[in-house]
Amino acid sequence: MDAKPSDMTPVVDLTREKGTGPVRVRRPIYVDLLPPCNHACPAGENIQAWLDLAQAGKYRQAWDVLVRDNPMPAVHGRVCYHPCENSCNRGQLDAPVSIHAVERFLGDRAAQESWAFKVDVPPSGKRVLIIGAGPSGLSAAYHLTRLGHTVEIRDAGPLPGGMMHFGIPSYRLPRAELMREISRIEAMGVKIVTNHKVTDVLDEQAAGRFDAVFIAIGASIGKHVDIPARDAVRVLDAVSLLHNVTTGEAPRLGRRVVVYGGGNTAMDAARTAKRLGADEALIVYRRDRAHMPAHAFEADEAMEEGVKIKWLSTIKEIVGPELTVEAMELDADGRPHPTGRLEKLTTDAIVLALGQETDSRFLRQIPGIEFAADGAVRVGRDMMTGHPGIFAGGDMVPGEQSVTISVGHGKRAARHIDAWLRATRYEPAPKHPLVGFDALQLPVYSDAEPRPQKTLALAERARGFGEVVAGLTENEAHYEAQRCLSCGNCFECDNCYAACPEGAIVKLGPGRRYRYDYAKCTGCAVCFEQCPCHAIEMIPEAGVSD
């Protein structure tokens, strides 16, 4: 779905006279524009391209295109918050394409049919050490291997996956699917060493003769807050709770559990508490729903499962099993302020879900590396720290945090590391202009509502950690892929070919699109007006005065 930047020209005001007759003042050209789904993807996927192949039933080819950018589609189809769908132009017509569900289908089909990654470049002779086997480290390892480098990952945990393994509940991400995608990366030749905590980066780099290092240890330390407490009930952080549940060391929380926080981790902690036997899981959050950091569907699923949320509230004090909670109110900017109105609550356990931070103390001995106040490591545009040859990415660098953002960091870091190893600079290709909904020429009706994913019955959810959201069948995934509008890129619908009154459009064959016979074209712009996806522009005729 890409075109050379030189093909792009400004849009011309079509309210002017169209110029039919002996002198053509404007001519049509075919163009490629940037669809908003591609633009919004933190992993940089060419979403429209693999949707196009999926709607044609070419699932293996679609997967091959997808994994050029993201090696873990079965994971992302389950846990990504799909900002691509929030940007999808179809959302202004009826409902966005369920991109994540088609991505999951392709990832699961790859597992069923044992598709493998292709490495078709000669070895570079360079070695790269990656510290951390979470999403960013795994992504970097994958991309560096495809670029010809030898990669070894060292991780302090007993299993690879990082927070995907120890921070996301299995009802959202079954571990079998996660490990299958990691195993495919290992099969490329990536060596993963677990139970290996790196304490001296430069020493390990020298001992292993690594030419570069990528650090991706994530943010696995739960943040704490000072709350006056005397003889308090059990207080633990959400990160530790989710980790211990994964390792089979789930704590006894009691009948009533309070979760303090309003992010996605708070929702996961509360839903986990219910699965561990709590009769009541109550989230206390200092702002309202409109200002919560958790995604709306996460809160919806939590409340479906019986989790209660006490909005505009903050914990002031803990005395034994009793909490003092103060009501808050928001100012015009959405900032919470205390009201002085207090309330008492009782609980058996308190789970703090106030965010995560990075334990980067072991990096402070390395000359040149700089840190933010919360311990995050500062990097340049090339993802390199202040120490030459040491790069960092994922949750441990400043910015938003998610699995998909981390995977995007890993890809970007791999490209910069590759360039650094080859003594060059990596410059991303310029992007095409973005195409919005208003530029499309769509019918005013829609008869293609999305296919919803089935969910596990509430009674079944309460009994364990079985996966809540099901995948699509092949027919459903094929249908969903066909809902893509191919914004900004020709999909050979033949509208222009059929509409041209002069027969000036020549079909070049399947997959090759069309060309104009300008000896016949009058510049009437009918083809432009009939193109549903805005893959045609009208440009001034050379030598004709505006």
The whole model's pTM is what? 0.92
Distance CA 450, CA 200 (A): 51
Query: 364: exposed, middle or buried (C-beta count within 10 Å: 0-12, 13-18, 19+)?
Result: exposed
- 478 in any annotated domain: no
145 and 115 share one domain: yes
85 and 151 share one domain: yes
- 285 in any annotated domain: yes
Q: With 60 as the cut, is the pLDDT of residue 214 above it? A: yes
Buried b (16+ CB within 10 A) or exposed e, 91-123: eebebbbbbbbbbbbbbbbbbeeebebeeeeee
- 318 in any annotated domain: yes
- 372 in any annotated domain: yes
351 and 394 share one domain: no
Task: Give the pLDDT score at 272.
Answer: 97
Last residue of a domain, one of 309, 329, 355: 355
The count of C-alpha atoms lying within 13 angstroms of the C-alpha of 183, restricted to the half-sphere facing its C-beta, is 10
Nearest to 103 by CA among 175, 50, 42: 50
Mean pLDDT over 396-405 rounds to 94
Strand order from edge to edge, sheet including 191-193 = 191-193, 150-154, 127-131, 212-215, 390-392
Q: With 90 as the cut, is the pLDDT of residue 171 above it? A: yes
Task: Give the pLDDT score at 360.
Answer: 93
The one-letter amino acid code at 535 reads A
DSSP state letters, 394-421: GGGSSS---HHHHHHHHHHHHHHHHHHH
Distance CA 392, CA 413 (A): 8
Task: Give the pLDDT score at 22.
Answer: 54
- 459 in any annotated domain: no
DSSP state of 371: B
Tracing tokens 């591609």 back to the chain, one arrives at 38
3-state class (DSSP) for residue 477: helix
- Domain CATH for 59: 3.50.50.60
Nearest to 78 by CA among 392, 334, 402: 402
Last residue of a domain, one of 355, 380, 408: 355
- 456 in any annotated domain: no
Q: What's the number of domains the chain is made of?
A: 3
120 and 42 share one domain: yes
DSSP state of 6: G
Q: With 60 as the cut, is the pLDDT of residue 2 above it? A: no
304 and 401 share one domain: no
Using 50, 70 and 90 to split pLDDT, how confident is the model at 544? low
201 and 92 share one domain: yes
Residue 138 token pair? 């795994």
The parent domain of residue 174 ranges over 35-220+358-440
Contact call for residues 90 and 485 (beta carbons, < 8 A): yes
The one-letter amino acid code at 463 reads R
313 and 419 share one domain: no
53 and 197 share one domain: yes
- 269 in any annotated domain: yes
434 and 518 share one domain: no
Q: Quote the distance between the C-alpha of residue 480 and its chain's center.
A: 19
- 349 in any annotated domain: yes
Distance CA 246, CA 239 (A): 11
Last residue of a domain, one of 355, 384, 400: 355
245 and 373 share one domain: no
Poorest-confidence range of 3-12, 22-31, 286-295? 3-12
103 and 74 share one domain: yes
Task: Give the pLDDT score at 261.
Answer: 96
Distance CA 317, CA 538 (A): 67
**What digits encode the pLDDT tens for the residues 435-464?**
999 999 987 667 788 889 999 999 999 889
The one-letter amino acid code at 444 reads V
Mean pLDDT, the chain, as a whole number?
A: 93
61 and 204 share one domain: yes
Would you tell me how many other CB atoms lie within 10 Å of the CB of residue 288?
A: 16
Contact call for residues 406 and 136 (beta carbons, < 8 A): yes
